[in-house]
Amino acid sequence: MPGKSGPRGAPGSLGDIGPKGERGEAGDAGGHKLMYQSAFTVKRQTHEHPAKNTPVVFHGNVTNTYHDYDTSTGKFTCRISGVYYFVFHTSLTSNLCVNLYRNRERVASFCDHLSNPKQVSSGGVLLQL
């Protein structure tokens, strides 16, 4: 009759690395996140002054990705929340005030009073939309 088993021994040393296994099946295609970036550059080249207290409509598209700026209304539609930088450049022959509205709320105002026969003015504002 065999005796009682003794205590377990110490682990042995590692053996040699075995051969490489077969390649597995391809997994399902993963999704990717499409990065949406809104950008527009428009121009207005006319000798006509815009009507007072109405949107200034810029008809010339230079860049208008995703058509977020509407050249028929002069309005930008924000589809993605984020920080946006708006800038304008003008040349003028009379006093000029430019107001930027978010919905019906004025969020920025720039005024330049003519001090030269032909004056250039620029302004910009950073907005969380």
- pLDDT tens digit sequence for 17-34: 889 999 999 888 877 666
List the one residue out of 36, 38, 35 whose CA is nearest residue 86.
Answer: 38
Residue reference for tokens 């008809």: 59
Report CA 5 to chain centroid distance, whole Å.
73
Give the domains, in start order, of the chain with CATH numbers: 35-128 (2.60.120.40)
Contact between 60 and 44 (Cβ < 8 Å)? yes
User: Is the pLDDT at 62 greater than 90, yes or no?
Assistant: yes
What is the model's pLDDT at position 75?
Answer: 92
Average pLDDT over residues 114-126: 83
> CA 43, CA 89: separation in Å to the nearest integer?
10
Give the burial class of 63: count Cβ atoms within 10 A of its Cβ; 0-12 exposed, 13-18 middle, 19 or more buried: exposed
Looking at the whole model, is its pTM more than 0.75? no
Q: Please tell me the predicted confidence (pLDDT) of residue 41.
A: 93
Average pLDDT for the chain: 86
Q: What is the mean pLDDT of residues 24-53?
A: 83
Percent of the chain topping pLDDT 70: 98
